[in-house]
Amino acid sequence: MGEGLFRDKKILVMGLGRFGGGVDVVKFACEAGAKVVVTDLAKQDALAESISQLKGLDVEYHLGSHEPADFEQADMVVANPAVPLDNKFLQIARKAGRKVTSQIELFFELCPAKIIGITGANGKSTTTSLTAHLLRSRFGKKVWLGGNIGNEPMLTIVGKIKPDDVVVLELSSFQIEQLAQSDKAPQVALLTNLTPNHLDRYKTFENYCNAKELIFKHQKPDKNQPAVSIFNSDDEVGSKWFAKYKKDAGRICVKFSPDDVPAKIGSVYGLPGRAYLANLAGAIAVAKRFNVTDEQIIGCLPAFEALPHRLQLVGEARGVRWYNDSKATTPDSSIVALEAFDSPIIIAGGHDKHIPFDEFGAKIAQKAKAAILIGQTAGAIGKIIQNHPQNKAQVKYAKTLAEAVQIANTLAAKGDAVLLSPACASYDMFENYEQRGEQFIDLANKVIR
């Protein structure tokens, strides 16, 4: 699959990256008979892991900079989601009449099955995984899970997908923007919620919302079946969009709420807190569109496991439980984690995405036993906590995650929960949130032993 698009063409992959998407594109293009050139601002050492996955393939690497000639001479440029649409090199390619596309656009063009797209600021990975899990109770191995969740390959598996299969994708705002360039969107789309995120790229919350809304703006009926748009009734933006889009012909709008989850289903669901119940409610809303029964949901739910780095229980020692929530890269996602525990010890802080910490700091002040702060944002978060009139949390600072774990172990007593929930991206100290989470797991396990 894809030979017609790529065979004997010069394909420029812009942004190999360290998270898998660029690797997937390169493998697919090579297998389809293309001449592949990779251009990335990072140098070879930084991309060593990704490059190692391409060993044996005929790939030309242009690393450490981008050259205008590469963009002028390529037949097609496949851009990484992290590359803004108005990037000057993409503009060079367009001006030269070259096709500019992305991994997600190519997948939508080639995939023969119905696609469910799930997006939002918080909870989208868990909701996406839950949705696939519930659908598998009815369709078995005919359900495919991918997209932004763990940066799973999409193009290298698309040839295995059959027309009567179902594909469940987590979609980031960056990917949604790329899809919109070719007027594409999933036939079934769900919004978990919207709170400020990626303001380092979008500058304002309104711009971020506009990017997310494209997933609904570009939905269309398919084979005489209406598009389905699903919104969280607890979310202010989602409720507004429900009212806006429910008037559209050729579209069905659905709302979900944690309050909709029947007690008989909620009782077999293991993740704590209203936000996680909202994730389940969203997954159920999708599953019901595909005629999954309550009995099938009840039968499969006990087997669902929390995703790595998402409120993941690492272990327990001396009555202290250690949780890895490294995937919490926004204040709102960390607030969700805080609300799942009584007086936890939280380790937070990291790369500054220019998101306000006022509500997060206030929640720590009122809810946490202690906050151990790391990274670029440590000072800003600490100041908010300490200035709160009802602050009951100790505030400590650590230069490294290892030091933070040591401090947490000193403060923790029987019955406490130690929670890594940074509320920030990881790039000031780590390659990604996975590396941060894995380091925390290693450090916590040393304490637990």
- CA-CA distance, 65 to 61, in Å (whole number)? 11
- CA-CA distance, 262 to 113, in Å (whole number)? 30
| Range from 82-91, 141-150, 293-302, 403-412 carrying the lowest mean pLDDT | 141-150
Average pLDDT over residues 31-41: 96
What sign for the dihedral angle of Cα 150, 153, 157, 163?
positive
Residue with structure tokens 């060593």? Answer: 48
Q: What is the largest CA-CA distance in the chain?
A: 67
Going by C-alpha positions, the residue among 212, 216, 222, 444 that lies closest to residue 347 is: 444
Whether residue 1 is predicted with pLDDT greater than 70 in this model: the reply is: no
Give tens-digit pLDDT for 302-337: 999 878 898 888 999 999 999 999 999 999 899 989
Q: Which helix (H) or strand (E) holds 170?
A: strand 166-170
More confidently predicted of 212 and 150: 212
204 CB contacts (<8 Å, ≥6 apart)? none
Write down the number of H helices and E strands in the chain.
Answer: 19, 17
In terms of residues, how long is the chain? 449
Residue 409: pLDDT band with limits 50, 70, 90: very high
| Residues carrying CATH 3.90.190.20, the chain | 312-448
CATH number belonging to the domain at 111-303, selected among 1.20.810.10, 3.40.50.300, 3.40.1190.10, 1.10.167.10 = 3.40.1190.10
Give tens-digit pLDDT for 279-290: 999 999 999 999
Residue 139 neighbours by CB distance under 10 Å = 15
Average pLDDT over residues 40-53: 93
Contact present, 377 and 349 (Cβ < 8 Å): yes
Whether residue 395 is predicted with pLDDT greater than 80 in this model: the reply is: yes
Going by C-alpha positions, the residue among 82, 109, 77, 79 that lies closest to residue 96 is: 77
Continuous H helices in 257-377: 263-266, 274-289, 294-300, 331-338, 358-367
262 CB contacts (<8 Å, ≥6 apart)? 294
pTM of the model: 0.83
Superfamily of chain region 312-448: Mur ligase, C-terminal domain (3.90.190.20)
Residue 340: pLDDT band with limits 50, 70, 90: confident
9-103 maps to CATH 3.40.630.30:
no
Tokens standing for residue 86: 């108005």
Say what angle helices 274-289 and 124-139 make with each other, to 10 degrees.
40
pLDDT at 90: 97
Average pLDDT over residues 144-148: 92
| Residues carrying CATH 3.40.1190.10, the chain | 111-303
DSSP state letter for 72: H
Tokens standing for residue 442: 């290693």
| Residues carrying CATH 3.40.50.720, the chain | 9-103
Whether residue 366 is predicted with pLDDT greater than 90 in this model: the reply is: yes
Looking at this protein, which amino acid is placed at residue 9? K
Average pLDDT over residues 208-221: 96
Q: Residue 260 half-sphere exposure, CB side, CA atoms within 13 Å?
A: 17
Residue 151: pLDDT band with limits 50, 70, 90: low
Task: Output phi, psi for 427, to 5 deg.
Answer: -70, -10
pLDDT at 343: 94
Task: Please state, in angstroms and as integers, the Cα–Cα distance from residue 126 to each residue in 120, 150, 192, 253, 285, following that order.
Answer: 11, 11, 10, 22, 14
Contact present, 447 and 409 (Cβ < 8 Å): yes
More confidently predicted of 308 and 93: 93
Residue 148: pLDDT band with limits 50, 70, 90: confident
- Alpha-carbon dihedral 361, 365, 367, 370, rounded to 10 degrees: 100
Whether residue 372 is predicted with pLDDT greater than 70 in this model: the reply is: yes
